[in-house]
A and B are shown apart, each in its own frame.
Chain A
Amino acid sequence: DGGITQSPKYLFRKEGQNVTLSCEQNLNHDAMYWYRQDPGQGLRLIYYSQIVNDFQKGDIAEGYSVSREKKESFPLTVTSAQKNPTAFYLCASSIVGGTSTDTQYFGPGTRLTVL
């Protein structure tokens, strides 16, 4: 079955540590996205990538980094510079261009807790 996988489901981090969240898709989508979700604040875009080896900052990129070395993978690193990293992180993907309707498909999410 095609879809988006995120791992791990739950992640615990000590303050001052960097941590990397995994996102993989087998939908052959060009674009991938990372969102942060906090209660009552909806989804906020962290980074997105529309093509391999290229990515753009979203609305809240500070303290995060990404890479896009393969079409199917878009890992997110939460660095120690992120002041309040405890949140639910969602990865998504979509088709770009042509007949795209901008529909994004989401993974199951990773809940990060800083201890």
Chain B
Amino acid sequence: AQKVTQAQTEISVVEKEDVTLDCVYETRDTTYYLFWYKQPPSGELVFLIRRNSFDEQNEISGRYSWNFQKSTSSFNFTITASQVVDSAVYFCALSPLSAKIIQGAQKLVFGQGTRLTINP
């Protein structure tokens, strides 16, 4: 079974603080992809990152960084020096390769999301 857990339902911090959003996943596939999406109040889903299960290198993109640890099945997301515009719901998602092989289509399993509020 595939499952993504985002234990933090809501996080509220003051602007300029660093904040880490946790994501823990479960899968029996040895090859899979992990994603993070941002959903601002307007409702659209914004793609942030995709990570292949064979690539455990951490990634940094501006104020965003991702820590992928296969040993703990975690793919955490850190925002450095947070800004009010970072306020949104953030979703972590998993896509097992087996779904793509069997059904020819990548299927995303989403976590419940973390609502992040950055206060001025």
The yes or no verdict on A and B being binding partners is no
